[in-house]
Amino acid sequence: MGKLKEKYFKQGIAEYAKRLSKFCKFQIVEVPDEKAPESLSEAEMANVKEKEGERILDKIKDKEYVFALEILGKERTSEEFSKELEQLTTYGHSDITFVIGGSLGLSPQVIKRANTHISFGRFTLPHQLMRLVLVEQVYRAFMIQQGSPYHK
């Protein structure tokens, strides 16, 4: 959800995207977030998440294997994550999508569509920073598969 505005995040992500190009076709699809005031009722929050969820689901194809990033997802080590990606690609899931929600999180529809749920810990991180962390971890996963010293 949302666009990156900060130059330093863009630069970091661009660096990892360049590195990832050796291993996969890497693409970021940005979906506009729903404008919302600071204080929302439960119903208004649900409405915002639903609208954002529809935008996300419009971008996901049926064949894609989807990781929903959410605080309640399963935590993995970098090695476990690497092995999981390796197994997915080995057994026919070459289109893998990671979904990072907006400031209110993911809609129930997106969570339901996801094949798996992943957490990078119980901290709340801005989506811009989470995007950088995710891209680095995907790169790290490939480096682990290569036996590279990068992971050390």
* Annotated binding residues: 69, 101
Between helices 78-90 and 127-146, what is the axis angle to 10°?
A: 70
Beta carbons within 8 Å of 23's beta carbon, 6+ residues apart: 142
User: What is the distance of C-alpha 44 from the center of its chain?
Assistant: 24
Q: Which two tokens stand for residue 136?
A: 């680095």
In a 13 Å sphere around the CA of 105, the CA atoms on its Cβ side amount to 13
Q: Give the residue among 37, 40, 29, 141 at the shortest CA–CA distance from 86.
A: 141
User: What is the distance of C-alpha 89 from the center of its chain?
Assistant: 17
Q: Binding site for S-adenosyl-L-methionine: which residues?
A: 69, 101
